[in-house]
Amino acid sequence: MDGWPDGGISMHEVAPINPWVALAYLASGILFILALRGLSSPASSRRGNRFGMIGMTIAVVTTLITQAPWKSGDAANSYVGIDVTAMAEILGAIAIGIGYCARSSPLRRVLTRGFAFGIAGAAFSALLPSLVRDRLHGTEIIYGLCLAAFGAGSIFAALWVGEARKRWGSDRVVSIASLVFAAAMVPAATALTLPPLLATAFVAGAAWVSTWAAACQSIRQSPSARWRSAPGCSGRSPI
């Protein structure tokens, strides 16, 4: 059969994939496999994280180069044919968004708090392999249990954080959840056995999701109407 039914695209019309693109995707896939293997043990988790970051970078860059919306129609699998006009429009829209964030005081406060919490909160996930390996002398099973406790706390928080936002407001939920997350780091730093660390991971996961969910809700609530009406953000000319 030469083509798809109902006037579909013929198999002979499918453009071949650039071999360098295929090689890049293959390399990223191998790096992802190595990342999963490294993350299976606290001793090799750092190496696994590095493999994962490199693999994701290769995959994202390759996708942007080959399948980006500013590519011309006949160059979907090549490195040439970029539509400069469309690319300028996309970059201009990004510049408008960044400028609006800089001028909007409520949005700027939310983004600043989120950035600060993200940097500080990442310490728990980054140091957890060292806690399991050096403090508890545990294996990959212990590390997996800690990750499971963190995930269970996230699911638990997702069940009630919506009601908490309605009752107390997003700003208060963000403040309380951030303080709870910070307080949970104290027992995490002093835990010598598995149960306290599991309890800390559960609380940290709940506070993590509560903070980000409430922060995202603050962004949607406070500046959303002004964002849609900002010049250049609605797709209409400001004139």
- DSSP output for 19-74: HHHHHHHHHHHHHHHHHHHHTTSGGGHHHHHHHHHHHHHHHHHHHHHHH-TTB-GG
The verdict on 115 and 40 lying in the same domain is no
The verdict on 62 and 162 lying in the same domain is no
SS3 of residue 137 by DSSP = coil
Task: Classify residue 124: in a domain, yes or no.
Answer: yes
Number of alpha helices (DSSP H) and beta strands (DSSP E) in the chain: 8, 0
Per residue in 20-46, is it b (16+ CB within 10 Å) or e — as a string? Answer: ebeebbeebeebbebbeebbbbbebbe
**32, 52 contact by CB (below 8 A):** yes
Q: Please give the residue range of the domain that contains residue 47.
A: 11-82
Q: How many residues does the chain have?
A: 239
Task: Classify residue 145: in a domain, yes or no.
Answer: yes
User: What is the predicted pLDDT for the residue at 233?
Assistant: 47
- Main-chain dihedrals φ then ψ at residue 233, nearest 5 degrees: -95, -20
User: What is the predicted pLDDT for the residue at 202?
Assistant: 93
Q: Six-digit token pair at 81?
A: 């044919």
Q: Tell me, what DSSP letter sits at residue 15? A: P
The verdict on 185 and 146 lying in the same domain is yes
| Residue of 168, 165, 167, 146 lying closest to 212 (CA atoms) | 165
Q: Six-digit token pair at 128?
A: 């957890």
User: What is the predicted pLDDT for the residue at 117?
Assistant: 82
Task: Classify residue 2: in a domain, yes or no.
Answer: no
Task: Classify residue 95: in a domain, yes or no.
Answer: no
Does this model's pTM top 0.85? My answer is no
The verdict on 111 and 207 lying in the same domain is yes
The verdict on 130 and 191 lying in the same domain is yes
Which residues in the chain come in under a pLDDT of 70? Answer: 1-17, 42, 67-84, 86-87, 218-239
The verdict on 53 and 149 lying in the same domain is no
Task: Classify residue 122: in a domain, yes or no.
Answer: yes
The verdict on 77 and 109 lying in the same domain is no
The verdict on 149 and 195 lying in the same domain is yes
When divided into structural domains, the chain yields a total of 2
User: What is the predicted pLDDT for the residue at 9?
Assistant: 45
